[in-house]
A and B are shown apart, each in its own frame.
Chain A
Amino acid sequence: MTGPRTIVDKIWDDHVVAEDAGAPAVLAIDLHLVHEVTSPQAFSGLRERGLTVRHPERTVATADHSIPTHPRSLPILDAMAAAQVEQLTANCRDFGIPLHGLGDPGQGIVHVIGPQLGLTQPGMTIVCGDSHTSTHGAFGALAFGIGTSEVEMVLATQCLLQRRPKTFEVRVDGQLASGVSAKDIILALIARIGVGGGTGHVFEYAGPAIRALTMDQRMTICNMSIEGGARAGLIAPDDTTFEYLAGRSHAPRGEAWDTAVAAWRALPSDEGAAFDRSIEIDASALEPMVTYGTNPGMGIPITSTVPDPEAQADAGQRRALEHALEYMDLRPGQPILGQKVDVVFVGSCTNGRISDLRLAAGALKGRRVAEGVRMLVVPGSDEVKREAESEGLDEVFRAAGAEWREAGCSMCIAMNGDQLAPGQYAVSTSNRNFEGRQGKGGRTFLASPLTAVASAVAGAVADPRRLPGIEDVAAVGGR
């Protein structure tokens, strides 16, 4: 390919092993992340065919989805979950794959540990049997979720068959107001384009508001690319990226570091590179966002009211909205502020990193979780947990009446017993508000960690900008 190229083009061109006429490209994969839920059938497939793992040293595994978040000294009570974790351990042992299992200091949500260990690096192709693999795009990597058949292919060949994706530039100008965060940018984007808006594309997030974000915040944005229909979303690497990576255990060192940084600096999209689609968002105009419905595209600024199905021109959308409001038991035109809340969940691969917990603790300090509200704080990894505890954040959460738990996916996917009861409302910092996502019959409002804390304190959906002292919290929390 000649002429100006996007970062996606550059990474793509660097990884094409072969391309037969009429067939998808054979694309080399640099890093393969594995977890207990989407891998067992892939390993069984390898055994049936008598295959080995081609590059166990480019593969890394952890247990995160189905594991309990109660103290690690207690057994896994769910027999099926226990069997899944045991099978992961056996598979990693048999095939020589490094495993950060339960009790290992490197354990955590797969999309939290990759960056934390310095495994996630710019210019890489990264895959995992999990749709939120898009998270790693924050480092300028082409990272996307795959199915279990593809997990098997990558294990066996370290390659995948892929068609070149289209590109979609998301330019975010301006500056976020105090109390408004990265989560609100991505919820606003998805509300605008809809959950299918990015289908067939890779988002590239650009513009001054993106450049101003920390790596943790960039990960929050890239994480939810899939909720806008894009398999991947990425941000060109810059000094913020390199500062984050420097010194991490699997990052290059010494001369290799300098060589790597020089190569990474050549990755950003060239001036004049063409995108298949583009959209602009003004960060200065954003309010905290909250979802009211049953997919992440059903989001509104927090001071708005629940939309009216009657006002929808398209019959399909009207039907979808009616169905969502019935499930959520909300009325058209009602304000979302003040809607009662039973549970508040802070955690997940979207908002379970240390800076998220610092923001949440900063906002919660000296306050109490409202009577009758259950608040769970679940660190994204064991390292995040240790770091939070060394800063005394766990004490802030406990003193406010919140639960401080072990690392895992927890109530984001509700496979492990951390779940809503039918009819309960939750404000959740996770990524999906699908029907039953957080427990059968449970109702989810997606929001930022600050909105989650404000809502926990009020016992109802609340605007974090009205919390006294929020400016100071927002200013220090992001670091």
Chain B
Amino acid sequence: MPAPYSTFTSAVIPLPRENVDTDQIVPARYLKVTDKAGLAEALFRDWRFDENGCFVEPLFVLDRPGMSGRAVLLAGDNFGGGSSREHAPWALAAWGIRAIVSTSFADIFRNNALKNGVLPITVEPERHRQLFELVAADPGVELTVDLESQVVHLPGDEDLPFDVDPFAKLMLLRGTDELGYLLDRRPEIDAWEAMHPARVDTRPSSGGS
């Protein structure tokens, strides 16, 4: 369960690539783990290292000087498409990423990220372009992400408001998870099931219903 999501200030990791898919975030060969440990190493593995296990030249953005410790990833359009692997937000969170800014996010990735303390922030294409320009002009520029107020504070007192699902926001701010909420709904689930018989039985001996 992630810690309550608090306001933070960080410089930005720029990743100006469109359609970054979950196979790039965590290559499939790292999905053989049975826990969540060690996934930071798998993050963007094949963009960071060549076939001999050496850093690529020029270095991938995560490995460039000054990038360590940054918690905001500024990515190209449509981030997180492809597989449902939650290993992708696990790896991002393990690396220290707490917010990703893009013009859009794939549905499953967005859901998975919100459950792991990684906030997807959707901005308009024009603002997105301006953010990349801002970071290009001043690579050390710091942003403050304030989930409570749903605002990213930019230098010069400029504010960038963003939308977030109100329920997901509540879960993040409290540091609780959806399973707790669902478990509290068990009386309603019991009542519903009493009215709605099972549609199928998966047991091999069951035959038809």
Residues of A within 8 A of B (CB): 17-18, 22-24, 26, 28, 30-31, 37-38, 40-41, 44-45, 49, 51, 55-60, 65-66, 78, 80-81, 83-84, 87, 97-98, 106, 118-119, 121, 123-124, 129-131, 133, 144-150, 152-153, 156-161, 163, 194-196, 199-200, 226, 229, 231, 249-254, 256-257, 295, 297, 316-317, 319-320, 323, 413-415, 422, 432, 434-437, 440-441
Indicate if the CB atoms of A161 and B182 lie closer than 8 Å.
yes
Interfacial chain A residues near B23, Cβ < 8 Å = 432, 434-437
Quick one: CB contact mask for B1-40 with A, threshold 8 Å, 1 for yes? 0000000000000001111010110011101111110000
Interfacial chain A residues near B181, Cβ < 8 Å = 23, 161
Instruction: Judge if B157 is at the interface, Cβ distance under 8 Å.
Output: no
Indicate if the CB atoms of B202 and A250 lie closer than 8 Å.
yes
Indicate if the CB atoms of B208 and A251 lie closer than 8 Å.
yes
The stretch from B59-67, B73-81, B142-150 touching chain A is B73-81
Indicate if the CB atoms of B16 and A319 lie closer than 8 Å.
yes
Quick one: CB contact mask for B97-125 with A, threshold 8 Å, 1 for yes? 00000001111100110011000000000
A415 nearest CB neighbor, chain B only: B28
Cα distance, A148 to B26, chains bound together (Å): 15
Interfacial chain A residues near B196, Cβ < 8 Å = 28
Indicate if the CB atoms of A153 and B179 lie closer than 8 Å.
yes
B77 nearest CB neighbor, chain A only: A316
Pick the contact of A17: B24, B46, B185 (CB < 8 A).
B185
Interfacial chain A residues near B51, Cβ < 8 Å = 422, 440-441
Quick one: CB contact mask for B174-195 with A, threshold 8 Å, 1 for yes? 0001110111011011001100
With A80-B33, A199-B104 already in contact, the answer to whether A147 and B86 are too (CB < 8 A) is: yes
Indicate if the CB atoms of A31 and B167 lie closer than 8 Å.
no
- From B29, B179, B189, B202, residue with most partner A Cβ within 10 Å: B202
Indicate if the CB atoms of B46 and A129 lie closer than 8 Å.
no
B167 nearest CB neighbor, chain A only: A23
Instruction: Judge if B85 is at the interface, Cβ distance under 8 Å.
Output: yes
Q: Which residues 43-95 in B have Cβ within 8 Å of A in the complex? A: 46, 51, 76-78, 81-86, 89
Indicate if the CB atoms of A249 and B207 lie closer than 8 Å.
yes
Interfacial chain A residues near B115, Cβ < 8 Å = 147, 149-150
Interfacial chain A residues near B185, Cβ < 8 Å = 17-18, 26, 157, 159
Indicate if the CB atoms of A432 and B82 lie closer than 8 Å.
yes
Indicate if the CB atoms of B199 and A159 lie closer than 8 Å.
no
Instruction: Judge if B137 is at the interface, Cβ distance under 8 Å.
Output: no
12 chain-A/chain-B pairs, Cβ below 8 angstroms: A41-B35, A57-B201, A147-B86, A149-B115, A153-B179, A157-B179, A160-B182, A195-B19, A229-B106, A295-B81, A436-B46, A441-B51
Indicate if the CB atoms of B179 and A17 lie closer than 8 Å.
no
B112 CB → nearest A CB, Å? 4
Interfacial chain B residues near A432, Cβ < 8 Å = 21, 23, 82
Pick the contact of B76: A22, A130, A252, A316 (CB < 8 A).
A316
Which are the 8 A-B pairs with shortest beta-carbon distances? A253-B208, A196-B78, A147-B112, A80-B32, A147-B86, A40-B34, A145-B84, A60-B202
Interfacial chain A residues near B116, Cβ < 8 Å = 149
Interfacial chain A residues near B82, Cβ < 8 Å = 131, 226, 432, 434
Cα distance, A149 to B23, chains bound together (Å): 19
A133 nearest CB neighbor, chain B only: B84
Instruction: Judge if B165 is at the interface, Cβ distance under 8 Å.
Output: yes
Interfacial chain A residues near B166, Cβ < 8 Å = 22
A151 nearest CB neighbor, chain B only: B86
Cα distance, A119 to B193, chains bound together (Å): 19
Q: What 9 additional pairs, Cβ within 8 angstroms, besides A98-B202, A163-B165, A440-B27?
A: A24-B165, A24-B167, A40-B35, A51-B183, A57-B198, A57-B201, A78-B32, A124-B200, A256-B209
Cα distance, A34 to B204, chains bound together (Å): 16
A412 nearest CB neighbor, chain B only: B28
B23 nearest CB neighbor, chain A only: A434
Indicate if the CB atoms of A57 and B86 lie closer than 8 Å.
no
Indicate if the CB atoms of A415 and B188 lie closer than 8 Å.
no
Cα distance, A80 to B189, chains bound together (Å): 37
A165 nearest CB neighbor, chain B only: B107
Cα distance, A153 to B184, chains bound together (Å): 12
With A131-B82, A414-B28, A415-B28 already in contact, the answer to whether A41 and B34 are too (CB < 8 A) is: yes
Indicate if the CB atoms of B199 and A124 lie closer than 8 Å.
yes
A87 nearest CB neighbor, chain B only: B34
Indicate if the CB atoms of A17 and B188 lie closer than 8 Å.
yes
Cα distance, A434 to B80, chains bound together (Å): 12
Interfacial chain B residues near A158, Cβ < 8 Å = 189, 193
Indicate if the CB atoms of A98 and B203 lie closer than 8 Å.
yes
A114 CB → nearest B CB, Å? 10
Indicate if the CB atoms of B202 and A413 lie closer than 8 Å.
no
Interfacial chain B residues near A131, Cβ < 8 Å = 82-84, 108
A253 nearest CB neighbor, chain B only: B208
Indicate if the CB atoms of A231 and B81 lie closer than 8 Å.
no
Cα distance, A157 to B189, chains bound together (Å): 8
Pick the contact of B108: A30, A41, A147 (CB < 8 A).
A147
A25 CB → nearest B CB, Å? 11
Cα distance, A44 to B36, chains bound together (Å): 11
With A60-B202, A147-B108 already in contact, the answer to whether A250 and B28 are too (CB < 8 A) is: no
Cα distance, A121 to B179, chains bound together (Å): 27
Interfacial chain B residues near A45, Cβ < 8 Å = 179
- From A66, A146, A150, residue with most partner B Cβ within 10 Å: A150
